[in-house]
A and B are shown apart, each in its own frame.
Chain A
Amino acid sequence: MIPLETVQQETEKKVSPDFVRISMASAIALRLRSGRFSRDFEFGGINLLLNYENGCLSDCGYCGLARTRPGDYEDKSFIRVEWPMVETDQLIDRMAEHEDKLTRLCISMVTHGRAYKDTYDITKRLRAKVKTPLSLLIAPPTLNEEKLQSFKDLGVDMIGVGLDAVSEKVFKQHRTDVPNGSLRWDNYWNIINASRRIFGPWKVNIHTVVGLGETDLDLVDMFYHLKDNEILAYLFNFNPEEDSRMGDWVSPHITRWRRIQLVKHLIENYNLQKKDIEFNSDGGIERISAEGNDIQIAIQSLDQGLPFMTNGCPNEAGTEVGCTRPYGSYRPSESFRDFPFQPETDDLKLIRKELALDELIK
């Protein structure tokens, strides 16, 4: 339950539903902010984030919006960069104006007593003017089946859940047993399962973060579990947020990250069996020993770079990823952890090296 103290009137502040924050990439795409990307690519995935004076009431160790992270909520970065605040109606008008280049919209909830009501309100306003497919990244503690159904009735087609931690142990460590922690693994799964029932197969996605202390085996088990339940797994690279409790942790090594991307892709698209993945004593992926012809070809060719592209909700036609979050979990000066476009020849050369492919399949 959300404490009542959080359900307060905040009408005079720049808070949701009349104001939202948007990702910097979205602000650039909609020309609300000046800026550009290091490489040229089309971008049309717009991400909105609810905004409250007292912020998100969760206190996840890795999150820029965590309750006990120092600083005013207004000034906090989320995934390292500023999220500009905009007036909701103005934003919706701007989206309508640029709709021809939009590929996917997403509203991210935060854990707050008003989150459901305001998400419903913003969704309704959005749907009245913009038809681009809309996802919600939900905050499970604020929801139940009835509320999820109401989102579907408004035209939301996909639900995302930031489970982030792929094992109960890691979840508790960073999200439950923390200074102001109240998030529960069971509650998350109840809402995930309810979302799956209501929205249907392959319409629910779970965010899984690599680098929170889980093993590769934990991740692989989660990928199989989600696949069996026709739920999508979206992969995220842990990237330390300055001043957060995990600010001194490091991103997963690039080789580990690339191998997980590849294995996930092979599980989902080539039916790679768990028996064909060898793990070391620490639960790390050591080798893929699949004999199947298709799998061998996919590995050798890196499947045209597809395993290394951003996992995100699709565009309207369902043919391409509509939400690509460029530079969302790495800096522009680093190699793309996930590519917002199909990797090119030089990118594939680098990926092959990063994977240490010869060792993985010998």
Chain B
Amino acid sequence: MTAKDKYDIRTDLYFDPVNHFWLDIKGSVATFGMSPLTQETSGSFVAIQFAESGTGFKKNEGIGTVEAEKHVGPIKAPLSGKILTVNSELINKPRMINEDPYGQGWLMEIELSDLSEIDQLISGEKEVNDWFESEFEKFNEKGWIAQP
């Protein structure tokens, strides 16, 4: 099985190769959420916490935490900037991240402070597909993905 068979790979979006977020960037504003591969291998989410709107941050700084049934981890900023809005619906329904990672499971909207950082993201049909496949293999080797 390949990543393409298993996941909806949105090649129209950017992907953060370190923290596995998708980003929809319009000008200097980005909405981001979890890639389908990460949401699946984290398990069912049970809780989420966000830093407050207006908080400024550097790339890779913690701006929240997300907790699944057997896993907890930080939400690390995919790019530097400031939080504009958080998806507060998730506080009561964290499983939306699992159910609709590209849609209702979005995490935050941020204002970017350094547009040059966008170059470090993955974009373009071939690059995104290749990256997904290689990450899928890595996660599979670690035993995080269910086998049919």
- Residues of A at the B interface (CB closer than 8 Å) are 24-25, 28, 31-38, 80-82, 326-327, 331-333
Contacts and interface: CB of A to CB of B under 8 A. Distances in A.
Interface string B134-148: 000000001111110
B147 A36 contact: no
Given A33-B146, A38-B72, A331-B67, A28 B46 contact: no
A32 B144 contact: no
Interface residues of B, number: 21
B26 interface: no
Given A36-B142, A331-B46, A333-B67, A31 B72 contact: no
CB-based closest 9 A-B pairs:
A35-B43, A332-B72, A81-B69, A31-B147, A333-B72, A34-B146, A34-B40, A36-B144, A333-B67
A332 B46 CA distance: 10
Contacts of A326: 70
A24 B43 contact: yes
B90 to A, nearest CB: 15
Contacts of B65: 333
A332 B145 contact: no
- For A33, A36, A326, A333, which residue has the most chain B Cβ atoms within 10 angstroms? A36
Contacts of A35: 41-43, 68-71, 144
Contact of B69 (A24, A31, A32): A24
Given A33-B146, A34-B145, A36-B142, A332 B44 contact: no
A326 B70 CA distance: 8
B49 to A, nearest CB: 9
A36 B42 contact: yes
A332 B43 CA distance: 12
Contacts of A331: 46-47, 67, 72
B124 interface: no
Contact of B71 (A31, A32, A37): A37
B145 to A, nearest CB: 5
B70 A32 contact: no
B124 to A, nearest CB: 27
Contacts of A31: 143, 145-147
B42 to A, nearest CB: 7
Count chain B CB atoms within 10 A of each CB in A25, A80, A82, A333 and give the residue with the most: A333
B41 to A, nearest CB: 5
A332 B71 CA distance: 6
Nearest to B47: A333
Contacts of B44: 81-82
B73 interface: yes
Contacts of B41: 34-36
Interface string B23-50: 0000000000000000011111011000
A327 B70 contact: yes
B136 to A, nearest CB: 11
A35 B41 CA distance: 4
Nearest to A32: B146
A25 B44 CA distance: 12
B144 A332 contact: no
Task: Pick the most buried of A24, A33, A35, A332: most chain B CB atoms within 10 A of its CB.
Answer: A35
